[in-house]
Structures are given as C-alpha cells and as structure tokens.
Amino acid sequence: HIFGHPADMEALQQLADQHDLVVIEDAAQAFGARSGDDVVGSLGATGCFSFYPAKTLGCYGDGGLVSTSDESLLEHLKQLRNHGAVAPFTHIEIGYNSRLDAIQASLLSIKLKKFEADMALRQQVAKWYDGCLSDSDAITPGRPKAGRHAFNLYTIRHARRDALREALTTANIGTNQCYPAGLHLQQVYRYLGYQQGDLPVVDQLCTETLSLPIFPGLTEEQVERVCRIVIEA
C-alpha cells in the first residue's frame, strides 16, 4: 500500500491462492486507507502498520502494530513482542522487545479521536494539488477504483525530478525522494545478481518520483505556491 494507495488485494489474494502463499500486508504508509469497503491491514493473514511520527497516525517516537484475525497467530505475536516469553522468566523462543510503551499508546488513543477529521483534510490537500497540477508535466497520484487513498505522501512523477527538487529546496520547501534505488540493487540483496537495467520500470520510477508536502494543516495558498514552483522549474 505504498504512499497510502491501497493495493489491489483481490488480485493479490488470487495470486497467493494459486501458489499457496500467505499474504502479509505492508500497511506502514496506509493507516486509514481502504481497499473497497475494507480497511487495509484486515485482508491478509496479517497487516503491519507503522506509527512513526511522519505517518497518517503517528506517535511521538517509534511504534507499530500488527493486525490479524487468526487467534493462534495473535497469541504467537504477543509472545514474540515480549522476548518470546509465555510467563515471567519463561522463554520458549527468541523474541523481541516490541512492546508499545504506555505514553505512546496514550498519545495514539488521543489522536485516533480526530483521525477522520485529519484524513478529510489530507484528502482536501490532495485535491488542491490535483487541480493545480492538472495542466503541468507532472504525473499526479492515481486513485483506487474502489476504496480510499490515505495520502501518507503526495508523490508525483516528473522527468525533471532533480530540477524540481532543487527549485523547491531553494524556496525552502521540503520534499522527499523516498527510494533513490530499487530494492533489488541494495547491498543486502546483491547475492541475487541483479544489475542496473534488469528492472527498467523500477529504475525509471526511482529517478522520477518526488513527494510534495502534505499534512492536515497545509493551506490552499501554500499548495498553490508549491505548484507554481513545480510548473515553472
């Protein structure tokens, strides 16, 4: 569900069923997104969310959540998050210290109360961008055929991405280039033998994508200023 855009879960589940695979949803960027009438994170065997401060629902530090409707898996996850313990000082596997602390949980509970209002503001900011950039060379984010884009990021594509980013930086406007290289080119996966050019679509996207500012408090005037610079760069 990259950038907050819900993936086609029906097609992915069909593919998984054909090959006897389990679907794990990476919903780190998509809290609040919907695939059809269903919330993302509720359609696979598990869903994984991030509560990093920059997300649509973020705490004031690091945090996350794993969702599942499988009771046995739920119990295993509870065990893993607490050092693999089933009782005090009784560990049956190697686990993690993945317990969300009470302060972060309290902050998230408070922010949840106004989450839908904040999401509506994000949707409005995205519409302003869509309108301002409709006649530009930028390719704006698509929308799901059925569901809701969460707009954790408003990411455009542009052939002159680097020039746009430089112009926006000069104007003291922050941007984000999320993925400068494809996963297949990362050192950790070098053993797979992929080279630059083996996945040309991925390579192209990594040179064209740029995330523009988006958050609930952004004004229409500020969006228009960003768009003017994008158009004129």
pLDDT tens for residues 113-171? Answer: 999 999 999 999 999 999 999 999 999 999 998 999 999 999 999 999 999 999 999 99
Domain boundary among 97, 112, 127: 112
Identify whether residues 166 and 220 lie together within a single domain.
yes
Domain match, 167 and 98 both: no
Mind giving me the DSSP string for 96-138?
A: -B-PPPHHHHHHHHHHHTTHHHHHHHHHHHHHHHHHHTTTSS-
| DSSP percent split of the chain into helix, strand, coil, nearest 5 | 40, 15, 45
Domain match, 76 and 94 both = yes
CA dist 52 → 31, 154, 205 (Å) = 11, 17, 25
Q: Are residues 126 and 227 in the same domain?
A: yes
Q: What is the pLDDT of residue 233?
A: 87
Number of domains present in the structure of the chain: 2
**CA torsion angle 139 55 220 37 (round to 10):** 70
Residues 135 and 215 in one domain: yes
Distances (CA, A) of 187 to 183, 184, 203: 9, 8, 16
**Which CATH number is 180's domain given?**
3.90.1150.10
Percentage with pLDDT > 90 across the chain = 98
Q: Give just the sign of the alpha carbon dihedral 36, 42, 43, 44.
A: positive
> What pTM was computed for the model?
0.91
Quick one: which of 65, 28, 48 has its CA closest to 178? 28
Q: How far apart are CA 231 and CA 233, in angstroms?
A: 6
Which of 58, 93, 112 marks a domain boundary? 112
Beta-strand relationship, 24-26 and 46-50: parallel
The residues, ordered by sequence, that sit 6+ positions from 117 with a Cβ below 8 Å of its Cβ are 216
More confident residue, 233 or 220: 220
- Cα Rg, the chain, nearest whole Å: 20
Indicate if 100 and 124 belong to the same structural domain.
no
Summary mean pLDDT of the chain = 96
**pLDDT tens per residue across span 55-68:** 999 999 899 999 99
CATH of the domain at 103: 3.40.640.10
Q: Which of 60, 92, 112 is the last residue of a domain?
A: 112
Residue 176 carries which side chain, given as an amino acid letter?
A: N
Residues 125, 38, single domain; the answer is no
* Buried/exposed 98-114: b ≥16 CB within 10 Å, e otherwise: eebeeebeebbeebeee
Q: Is the same domain home to 105 and 119? A: no
Same domain, 101 and 142: no
Same domain (yes/no): 21, 38:
yes
173 and 80, same structural domain? no
Domain residues for 199?
Answer: 115-232
Q: Which amino acid is at 153?
A: L
